[in-house]
Amino acid sequence: MMNAQLLSELEEVWYYKLLPERRQSICEIWQKRMEGNQPIIDDYHRLLLIHSLCLPMTQDFKSWIKLANLCRKSNRLIMADFIFKELTHAVLNEHTNSNHQAIAVPVLSSQSQQTCYHSSLIDQQLVKYEKAKYDWYCLVATRERLLLESQSVEQVLNNENNPQNDIISYNIPTLASPKKENIENTNIKLEQNHKEQLKLIEDMKEMIIKTCLPALDHLRKQTTTSIGNAQQETMIATSDRATPAASGNTLVETTQNINTIPHVSSFRVTTTNATLSSLSTSFPTVNQQEQCFRQLISKCYLRIGTWQHELFGLTNDSILAEIMKNYEYAWTYDDSNYKAQNAYAILNYDAVSYFKQRIEDASRNSQQQQAPSSSSTPATNSLASSPRSQQQEQNLDEFNDACRMLASKMIHCTISAVKSLCKSVVLSKAKRCLQNTLRLLTLWFEYGQYQEVYEAITEGIRTVPVEVWLHVLPQLIAHIDSPKLLAHQLMHHLLIDVGRQHPQALIYPLVVASKSVVCDRQFAANRVLNNMREHSHTLVHQALVVSEELIRISVLWHETWHKGLQEALVQYFVNKSIQGMIEILEPLHETIEHGSTTQNESTFLDSYSNDLTQAHVYIRRFKQTKDPNQLNQAVHLYHQVFIRIRDKLSSITSLELDHVSPRLATNFHDLELAVPGTYEPHKPPITIRNVQSYITVLTSKQRPRKISIRASDGYEYVFLLKGHEDLRQDERVMQLFGLVNEFLSANDETRRRNFIIQRYPVIPLAPNTGLLGWVTQCDTIYALIKENREKTYIKFDAELRYLLEKAPDYNQLPLLNKVEIFENTLNFFEGDDLAKILWHKSSNAEIWLDRRSNYTRSLAVMSMVGYVLGLGDRHPSNLMLDRASGKVVHIDFGDCFEVAMIREKFPEKIPFRLTRMLRKAMEVTGIDGTFRMTCEHVMDVLRNNRDSLMAVLEAFVYDPLLNWHLLEHNDNDQNATLSTTSNRFSQIDKKQYYQSHLSTINEDDNEHKSTISEKIQQQHVQESGRTIRADEIMNRVREKLSGNDFHREQPVDIPTQVELLIQQATNHENLCQLYIGWCPFW
């Protein structure tokens, strides 16, 4: 395709030479093609070389600048340097020629001379600006290289002095024979590098002050003088036509005379406007040049502020003020500069945290200073205590004054941040504004109670389009019950506005909040729902009914009682808590006492109501008499019902809609309600026509339902309906993946290779129920391996059998013995199942090669993103493989932020799953090819956008509805797997097996280790623990995105970081300690 374009443009070059009248149109065509081409350096360069047959560099210098920037970003610095030298030479020659032309041709008007001069001056300064960016990039790259060399020398010297350090040394390139002189030379070079960076900043300032600002001021004067002269000439001409005898009158008198003449007043206005309009078109070049200079000055100030921020950081108030001043100048000279507005907003946002931290540090220091004096004994001399108390009061006054000053600065920065964030959101045109919207919400929820901040937020919200808030509805709903009055009122009004303009987008999350067990949340949500009923009564009614019925379908009475009886018997047999058992069973009995509403519930009552009622009678008698016989009889009946329900559930593989939800089957057709997850602003909603009558029950532990909804567009939308599981965290993770996809699409390298995370809709229906969009043509890796081995008559758990045969007590072995048994198991089996699956399921080699490439890339992308997110529990059932494309799709994001690494039993020690079977399915070179390259590209994108990712993750971690996950160490999955495995290979007593079975509960449920009253007492203690844990998580993510994860004193570069992660993920010592259900041998 590129060769065809080259041939076509060669032909157009011929037309350009022969037909002068077509030159402008040909240039416009070339420009449009260049904008549409992929940013591949070699192709771009070949096109520009063809254009240069007609266009010199000075007439197409912006395209050449773009090529130079592409070379800089791709680290082709020699080519970039050559282009900038040629551009500088060409622009200087053009500028000199324009000056000579203006002097040699005095016939030209002053305006034409100045236009020619300023046009060449703009080009010259723009090239200087881009060249300065290139020089800064080279200096930064040199500095990173020098720091790495210095780090390597210091490491080797330390290893020579302390040989034991070799054991824990990092895999960083080291020098052969380092000397202390090398360190001194490196420090000298670093100092010189720092001076050159400072010189670049000063040169940029000098360019603004000595060249750009005087030229801009001259253009302003020229524009003002030209328009003033034109207005004067227009008025004189008009007065001559209207009243010739009054030529000596003033302008006011002339105007009065004109207005006294009938039908002339309108003629005067029309003539003047037409003349001014012609004047404005007479000087387009001057106005355009002024705008170009403004944009260039804005870019320069933005670049100066960015460089100062990179060089110094937020170390003191004076540096902060200097950086902020440059950013403020940047958006002042060009108020449409999104980058300048965004940089100013983020700086103020960071300054808020900076001043907040300083206040906390000052408070901590003050407490430490007061501690010794408070611990002094009363026996001290009273004469000496008086000066000491005066000194304490003076210190306290100084501390209060300092805190008030810091708080004032913090609030001022908060107000500036709020205003700038709103402006940047508007300028971004609702694209890539998720991170800024979340930053705005963070400031709103934390400082919205201050009147000044509240007024700034209120004013800013009026300017932000309502559609922007649709992307952060989960965060808005999470704070719907905010205890801060001003923030709560503003939230209520905003949700009402969103509900009025986009009711379909708000209805589902609002219904979830209305089902909350927290009274304040429920009340706040119902207030907004009642307001929505005024304009969307039918929609609200349908949403409530559909949500209620889907919740009913997700968890039948059989499953509710199975789960409840399981937990109750665990309380009785394992925890020895009779009260805990009764507290679990009472709500279940209240449910069946209300009677049945569906055929399925009637069947349940017919089968189990007598035994359950009788057991409840025994419980009541026990509470009155404390007779243990009554309790034993009740427990016996509950046990019998539990076994019967368990056997019944194993036979339920499908449901009929009219049996489990007759309201949806008969009464709800052709609804106004949109299909979950399909609503898009400014498009007609895709509404629900009906729910298909046949519902499939999957046989996994949670027993989710596969349901189909026929929509108004004629398509069927398939969902996975899950009960007993909170999907709100998965919803936030999908938000994060959407932002990461935007970053990957904006980067040239990752966009060209189609590095995209596959997402799916997540729609919570209640705090413990929700819908997941069905990912078509996908199977879990566990199912694929099982299917493949069944075809070849190989037992799907052959590795596990072999391992337990060699070491029945494998989990109790020391680490060295575990490694030995684990490696022996790996050597005994091939472990190439996944590679064979990809080959056998491909119809030809071309398809297989494409699928293998997609598989490797998608696995690498999610490995890096999952590492930053701290995603755990990546067992084979949580990884899916797309049968058509070969891409890896991850599901179940319940364990985030390294929760799996800090649990008590079987903590994970690997950053992502990279087991032998996954590696063998890659190309011939394994991880040393596409996988490693993809990891480095993705990590580069993530580290370059660390501020935006941190903003999203901060809102994620401190979300009041989700941070309870951070303290949960969910070991139930592992216990379930281990108990099942042990019973498979050993004979144990039935009672022990029963108790072991009871000790395993569903994947995402909490054990009732204490009664409800005890948990309420623990809530206050847990709140402080969550805050501390959230701070630790943010620091951990910050280290990962800055390269300090392995070497906190000095960040490592991206290739080194990726190498260290791969070593961790493939280390047998780490893999052999994982729990068996994770299948580390696969």
Condensed to tens digits (0 to 9), the pLDDT of residues 687-720 reads: 999 999 999 998 877 889 999 999 999 999 999 9
Q: Place 117 in a pLDDT band, splitting at 50, 70 and 90.
A: low
Condensed to tens digits (0 to 9), the pLDDT of residues 310-366 reads: 999 888 889 999 999 999 999 999 988 999 999 999 999 999 999 998 888 888 777
How far apart are the C-alpha atoms of 811 and 905, rounded to whole Å? 11
Q: Place 1026 in a pLDDT band, splitting at 50, 70 and 90.
A: low
Nearest alpha carbon to residue 1070 among 914, 842, 941: 914
Condensed to tens digits (0 to 9), the pLDDT of residues 367-385 reads: 766 655 555 545 444 444 5
Condensed to tens digits (0 to 9), the pLDDT of residues 747-784 reads: 888 888 889 999 999 999 988 899 999 988 899 999 99
Q: Place 275 in a pLDDT band, splitting at 50, 70 and 90.
A: very low
CA distances (Å), 575 to each of 572, 578, 579, 776, 999, in order? 6, 9, 11, 43, 10
Nearest alpha carbon to residue 439 among 465, 468, 466: 468
Average pLDDT score, the chain: 81
* Domain 778-1078 -> CATH class: mainly alpha
Segment 575-583 mean pLDDT: 90
Helices then strands, each counted (H, E), the chain: 42, 10
Nearest alpha carbon to residue 134 among 93, 77, 90: 77
DSSP string for residues in 857-914: HHHHHHHHHHHHHT-----GGGEEEETTT--EEE----S-TTGGGS-SSS----SS--
Q: Place 276 in a pLDDT band, splitting at 50, 70 and 90.
A: very low
pLDDT at residue number 33: 86
User: Residue 849 pLDDT > 50, yes or no?
Assistant: yes
pLDDT at residue number 965: 55
- Please, which contacts does 1028-1032 make with residues 24 or more away whose CB atoms are closer than 8 Å? 1029/963, 1029/966, 1029/967, 1030/957, 1030/958, 1030/963, 1030/966
- According to DSSP, residue 687 is labeled B
List alpha helices for 428-447, DSSP H.
434-447
User: Residue 295 pLDDT > 70, yes or no?
Assistant: yes
Q: What is the pTM of this model?
A: 0.81
pLDDT at residue number 443: 93
How far apart are the C-alpha atoms of 866 and 443, rounded to whole Å? 28
- Of 16-20, 381-385, 607-611, 892-896, the one with minimum mean pLDDT is 381-385
Segment 970-997 mean pLDDT: 35
Segment 953-957 mean pLDDT: 86
pLDDT at residue number 985: 31
Condensed to tens digits (0 to 9), the pLDDT of residues 427-483 reads: 887 556 889 999 999 999 999 989 999 999 999 999 999 999 999 999 999 989 888
Amino acid (one-letter) located at 485 = L
pLDDT at residue number 273: 41
Name the more confident of 934 and 151.
934
User: Residue 968 pLDDT > 70, yes or no?
Assistant: no
pLDDT at residue number 38: 78
pLDDT at residue number 386: 60
Condensed to tens digits (0 to 9), the pLDDT of residues 53-99 reads: 888 887 887 888 888 988 988 888 899 989 888 888 887 776 566 55
User: Residue 973 pLDDT > 70, yes or no?
Assistant: no
pLDDT at residue number 99: 55
User: Residue 105 pLDDT > 50, yes or no?
Assistant: no
pLDDT at residue number 274: 37
User: Residue 1054 pLDDT > 70, yes or no?
Assistant: yes
% of residues, the chain, pLDDT over 70? 80
How far apart are the C-alpha atoms of 504 and 540, rounded to whole Å? 9
Condensed to tens digits (0 to 9), the pLDDT of residues 606-626 reads: 999 999 999 999 999 998 888
pLDDT at residue number 383: 45
List alpha helices for 483-598, DSSP H.
485-501, 503-514, 519-554, 557-573, 578-593
How far apart are the C-alpha atoms of 209 and 420, rounded to whole Å? 26
How far apart are the C-alpha atoms of 247 and 266, rounded to whole Å? 21
Q: Place 100 in a pLDDT band, splitting at 50, 70 and 90.
A: low
Segment 168-179 mean pLDDT: 47
Q: Can you give the residue ranges of every domain in the chain? A: 33-225, 337-371+394-463, 555-652, 778-1078
User: Residue 496 pLDDT > 60, yes or no?
Assistant: yes
Condensed to tens digits (0 to 9), the pLDDT of residues 536-563 reads: 999 999 999 999 999 999 999 999 999 9
% of residues, the chain, pLDDT over 90? 44
pLDDT at residue number 238: 44
Structure tokens at 167: 């054991």
Amino acid (one-letter) located at 445 = F
Q: Is the dihedral of CA 223, 224, 229, 230 positive or negative?
A: positive
pLDDT at residue number 988: 31
Q: What is the CA radius of gyration of the chain?
A: 36
Domain 555-652, second-level architecture: Up-down Bundle (1.20)
| Residues 6+ away with beta carbon under 8 Å from 604 | 556, 557, 558, 561, 592, 596
* 3 state DSSP class of 173: coil
